[in-house]
Chains A and B, each alone.
Chain A
């Protein structure tokens, strides 16, 4: 197990050139200067490969898929080369009892030293009965493995904040890792799915500097989630100039105008999508004409929907009416105007009557 990433890159099919290229991409994402690239390369090559245990709970495996199936496999391969992935249900060979055994062995051998990656939310309702692996609940497994890790990386919005499982009314009581584990450093890499470069950057940061990157107060690394999408979007000039897409396929859409009026949530979402982009072909949703849906934010399934409107809808209690804020506001204003009319009429009526009496 003392094998080092540097040796492996030479015989694992990754060329030195693309190895350095991937490290440079990560350095750029981390906002490190060029001078730091050799340090990063050195850390990736020579640091003892940290043991990683990857747990899957309530999830769709989209995060793993996007990490491993980039159009250009080097990134995923590089990640697998700089870490020693002891347990990952999707890619490991053993199954059943053998798989369980490798989990236990690895935890026992590396207590306090391994990195735990969690993908997916953890259901907590009904004692966590909604997600079981080999007869044990996700809650149980996390409670056993989590506190023994040196650090935890919650990958994806589900593991970070609960994701779609936690959308109202959250029938399974799904929660993110940070709500269940304390005392171990946790970093959240939300996104549905998150950008693999952000994950790679976080791991390389850990290898190079021996600690997790600085985070915002939702536990997201600042290098990737430190700026609002809207503040570094290539369509921003159209926003300021008031040039908007009114509906998909119209003149504005064909001319690349701002997607604000068709519900883009860039103004409310923190992520590096406009700068880091995806899949090695330099695209992200807004660049191909679809608004951001805000997938890196907590409760995005509740607060960012309807995806094609600017704001959530309001439900008027007791009536079952669900409508947008402005039509509700206008109706309430109408009711207020009617009430004022009645109030004034009663007042005038009364004084007319009183006037008559006084005569």
Chain B
């Protein structure tokens, strides 16, 4: 078969992706610690500050996560063709077709693969949901971090009614991210096995291999 190399993902998108991966891993681990601190420093005067440190790393990773989300939102409108939101919203006939083809493909109903440069529309939709969840996650995070600061207080109270509800939403959304990461990694491997485009390496190199139209 004849392949050609196509540039798909910009440097900024790849940076966004890995910043998000790194921050989510740190945030889930430190977040679980904040919820259920599994150590107990019964030795007084040990100056180890485990909770203070975990919270510190949680907030550092929180800022990285926020930066990543803002970059992705920017790319939805100002990125390259594959990165823009119009490429994945199921509003055009081309995109609706991609959605149904992909669903059938993933359910082993048909072997027809919707070969596009960017995301297929099913994946793209899940990513949009994830970014929306991320926006709620960071709002609830900053609401807990700066509870007395005007904007976060007003926004947080309007969205979640109280700190406790905000924290609950924050915790539930953590489970969304865990589930998302798990199924995302599986689907990526599955796709890489099924169609040899170099899907996995594309998030490192930005390039995909596409069959030349003969």
Interface residues of A (CB under 8 A from B): 216-218, 226-228, 239-244, 246, 251-252, 260-261, 265, 267-270, 294, 297-300, 303-304, 310-312, 314, 325-326, 328-329, 332-333, 336-337, 340, 343-344, 346-347, 350
Contact = CB atoms under 8 A, between A and B. Distances in A.
A343 B194 CA distance: 13
A329 B48 CA distance: 31
A75 B136 CA distance: 45
Interface residues of B, number: 41
B147 A239 contact: no
Interface string B135-149: 000000000100110
Given A242-B48, A304-B164, A218 B157 contact: yes
Given A241-B51, A243-B40, A336 B183 contact: yes
Nearest to A346: B108
Contact of A311 (B42, B50, B168): B168
A340 B153 contact: no
B4 to A, nearest CB: 26
A242 B51 contact: yes
Contacts of A312: 164, 168
A354 to B, nearest CB: 9
Contacts of A243: 40-42, 44
Given A243-B41, A294-B164, A311 B171 contact: yes
Interface stretch (B87-95, B172-180, B199-207): B172-180
Contact of A347 (B35, B49, B108): B108
B164 A244 contact: no
Nearest to A303: B164
A304 B182 CA distance: 31
Nearest to A244: B40
A155 to B, nearest CB: 20
26 contacts: A217-B153, A228-B147, A241-B41, A241-B44, A241-B46, A241-B47, A241-B49, A241-B50, A242-B40, A242-B49, A244-B40, A265-B164, A267-B144, A269-B164, A270-B147, A297-B162, A303-B164, A304-B164, A312-B164, A312-B168, A325-B168, A325-B171, A336-B182, A340-B182, A340-B186, A343-B186
B126 to A, nearest CB: 13
A314 B41 contact: no
Interface string B54-97: 00000000000000000000000000000000000000000000
A268 B37 contact: no
Contacts of B37: 242, 244, 260-261
